[in-house]
Structure 1
Amino acid sequence: MTTVSPRQAEELAAGIRALGLACTAEQQERLLAYLALLVKWNKAYNLTAVRDPDEMVSRHLLDSLSIAPHVAAGGDTWLDVGSGGGMPGVPLAILFPERRFTLLDGNGKKTRFLTQVKLELGLGNLEVVQSRVEAFRPSQPFAGIVSRAFSALADFANWTRHLGDAATRWLAMKGVQPDDELQALPADFHVEHCHLLDVPGCQGQRHLLILRRTS
């Protein structure tokens, strides 16, 4: 299997310290094992446009972990919509073993990769679902729904409305603050908070928008 370098391990550890996160040595090893799987499978499955493993530490692992305080403040059941290669769902599932994460994607190659990640890393708190988001019908609403570079805010809200309720928090990870997208937000959604994220090693702006349904 592809292995990670000491440099990548050091960058991850430094980034976790900079983010102020509590992450055990075992969790960091799992994060690096996930990175190794991502690098290996990306060659055939085109999971991410980022090819350099060094870049993946900041742009995928640390970027995913940057929203951890907002997940910690939420409930126990989380949905990662359009999970793709597993960001942010896999790193968050590693960091929060006491919470349950459902990773949803309509692409069979990507869900096969995610299933392999679940098996190889022993992530019992992670469920992989292959489905279009509009067709997904879980038995209960999720406490939190997160997307990373998935769609415009209006589409994110409209496509996932049926997956949450008044208590659900929608977390949309974006680059620059999407003012045009905010203007098109459906009437029954509002922005509760907009946070500027400081991701170690990442160039450019990163924002987290927290949406709620208007009761």
Structure 2
Amino acid sequence: MSESLWQRQLSDGLADMGLTLNEQAQQTLLAFLALLNKWNRAYNLTAVRDTGQMVSRQLLDSLSVLPFVTAESVLDVGAGGGLPGIPLAIARPDTQFTLLDSNSKKTRFLTQCVLELGLKNVDVIHGRAEDCQPDQPYAQITSRAFTALENLVTWCGDLLAIDGEFLAMKGQFPDDEVAAMPDSWQVVSHQALVVPGSDGDRHLLVIRRRSDVQN
């Protein structure tokens, strides 16, 4: 059964990554993965359809940025099938996550996940980033396979607190995208992410406003 395989892959992967999650959190992560797999057949939420790869490429990949999530309120833009937002929210129940996506099918799935999994710390918004008007800007904004960095900071810059930061998840290090960013933004750090079970390149780029450049 894929469920027992998933459970073993998750517990082994978390150990390899040095992450500790209680049994309830791990079971909720697996329940989310089952929902994602079920809905993906009709809603095309993710390109990953091999059940043997789902824990690594969806759960562990999302959780690889967990040590960098430090804000009390986080926005996940282009949330899609809930990656990385929902795994992060499950792992950090005291952090408030807002998942934003312009695709109504995907936000319908996300809303169902929040209900079925009982996620009290997740809000779902259907809409475009450019049209979003939060009560307060976010200290951190995550993105995974959403858009080029230039678009990310342009479309979502107004949603980020003045001293906030983007946590942009990429595959290979995107030299061309970094070079194309507006001068008012800079990559303050970048990290190669090690995801158990995945042999592809993964990087996290932390992006902030340049203090020496006026917007």
| TM-score between both structures, scaled by the size of structure 1 | 0.96
Q: Which runs of 5+ in 2 are unaligned?
A: none
Once residues 51 and 76 of structure 2 are traced to their aligned partners in structure 1, the CA distance between those partners, rounded to angstroms, is 23
Query: What's the counterpart of residue 149 of structure 1?
Result: 145
Q: Kindly report which structure 2 residues correspond to 1:1-40, keeping only aligned pairs within 5 A, or say none.
A: 4-40=2-38
Q: Kindly report which structure 2 residues correspond to 1:1-215, keeping only aligned pairs within 5 A, or say none.
A: 4-71=2-69, 74-215=70-211
Tell me the secondary structure at the aligned position of residue 205 of structure 2. Answer: strand
Question: Counterpart of 2:87 in structure 1: which amino acid?
Answer: P
Once residues 197 and 168 of structure 2 are traced to their aligned partners in structure 1, the CA distance between those partners, rounded to angstroms, is 21
Once residues 116 and 49 of structure 2 are traced to their aligned partners in structure 1, the CA distance between those partners, rounded to angstroms, is 22
Is the Cα–Cα contact under 8 Å of residues 4 and 35 in structure 1 kept in the other structure?
no
Once residues 2 and 22 of structure 2 are traced to their aligned partners in structure 1, the CA distance between those partners, rounded to angstroms, is 18
Q: Shift of the alpha carbon at 1:132?
A: 0.6
Tell me the secondary structure at the aligned position of residue 53 of structure 1. Answer: coil
Segments of 4+ moved more than 6 angstroms: none
Once residues 39 and 199 of structure 2 are traced to their aligned partners in structure 1, the CA distance between those partners, rounded to angstroms, is 25
Once residues 152 and 9 of structure 1 are traced to their aligned partners in structure 2, the CA distance between those partners, rounded to angstroms, is 34
Is the Cα–Cα contact under 8 Å of residues 2 and 52 in structure 2 kept in the other structure?
no
Q: Deviations over 1:144-175 (max 9, x none)?
A: 00100000010011010100122211010000
Is the Cα–Cα contact under 8 Å of residues 143 and 169 in structure 2 kept in the other structure?
yes
| TM-score between both structures, scaled by the size of structure 2 | 0.96
Q: Shift of the alpha carbon at 1:92?
A: 0.2
Tell me the secondary structure at the aligned position of residue 54 of structure 1. Answer: coil
Is the Cα–Cα contact under 8 Å of residues 3 and 30 in structure 2 kept in the other structure?
no
Number of equivalenced pairs: 211
Once residues 173 and 128 of structure 1 are traced to their aligned partners in structure 2, the CA distance between those partners, rounded to angstroms, is 20
Q: Shift of the alpha carbon at 1:7?
A: 1.1
Tell me the secondary structure at the aligned position of residue 93 of structure 1. Answer: helix
Once residues 194 and 150 of structure 1 are traced to their aligned partners in structure 2, the CA distance between those partners, rounded to angstroms, is 18
Q: CA RMSD in A?
A: 0.9
Identity level (%): 52
Question: Counterpart of 1:39 in structure 2: which amino acid?
Answer: N
Q: Shift of the alpha carbon at 1:4?
A: 4.2
Q: Deviations over 1:90-116 (max 9, x none)?
A: 000000000000000001100000000
